[in-house]
Amino acid sequence: MPRQEVLILAVTKMLSGVCTAGMTTEQVPVTGLKWVRPVKDFGTLLLGDLTDRRGTVIRPFDVVELQLVKPHPDPPHVEDWVTDFVRHRPRFVRRLEGERRADFLSKYLDENSHEVLAGHSRSLCLVKPDQVKASFSLDAYSGKYEARLAFSLGAEAYLGSMRKGGLPVTDAKWRALGREWLGDSGGRLNCEEGELQDRLGVEDFYLALGLSRSYQGEYWLLVLGVHTVPDYEVEIDYDNL
C-alpha cells in the first residue's frame, strides 16, 4: 500500500515503549474517518519509530505520511496496521491548529462510542465528555507517577479507580502537564473541570479513548489523548514520561 496521510490523535506511554493512533483520510461510517493504530511486526514501538526525518517526535495533530503495510486486526484491536518504520520514516506533512483543529474535533466525534466502551467490538474512539476530573500523583521517594481522569458521557460515568482518581491517562503530553504542575516534590493534585479550564485557559475537552491489550483477562479503558480547545502548551521530557 502507498504511503498514507494520518492525522495523529494519540502518542502514549506504554509499560515498555510507546504507542500511537490516528485517522486516515478514508471516510467510513460511525467514526467519520478511518482509525488506524500503527504497529510493528514484532515488538513495541519505540520513540525512534515515531521520530520523523527532522529528528522530531511526532505529536497529536501532526499530519504525517506513514507506510501502512497491511491490516493486522487483533480483536478488539481491529484498527492495528503493520507499518514500516525502518525503510520509510514518518514524514511530517503539516499540522492542524486553531480553528481547523477545533472544527476537526467537533466534526469527527464517534457516533457509537458504546462499541468501544462496552461492546469491545473495536478499540478506538473520539468523544466529547460532559464533565471531566483530573488527578495527578507522584511519590517523590519511589518515583511512581500516575495521571488519571474521570469523566461522564451521557448517562454513564467512567470513574475507573475512585481511590486512584479515575482511568489511567497514557497521553504523553497530559502526563507531562501533571509532572510540571506537581514539581519535583510530588504529592497528589486533584482538579475539577472548572479548575482545569482556568489553569489551562481552555473551554472544551475532547478525549481519544482506547482499550488496552489483554491484561488479567480484561481489556481496560485508557485515556489516550486529552485534547483541549484551545490547545495548551507544555514541554515534554520524553526520557521521563
pLDDT tens-place string over residues 144-182: 999 999 999 999 999 987 677 899 999 999 999 999 999
Distance (Å, whole) CA 224 – CA 149: 11
Residue 234's SS3 state is coil
Cβ neighbour number for residue 61 with a 10 Å cutoff: 20
pTM above threshold 0.85: yes
* AA letter at 14: M
CB 72 within 8 A of CB 39: yes
Distance (Å, whole) CA 133 – CA 193: 6
- 67 backbone dihedrals φ, ψ, rounded to 5°: -90, 90
Beta strands 91-95 and 62-66 are: antiparallel
What's the pLDDT tens digit per position in 70-115? 999 999 999 999 999 999 999 999 999 999 999 999 999 999 999 9
* AA letter at 122: R
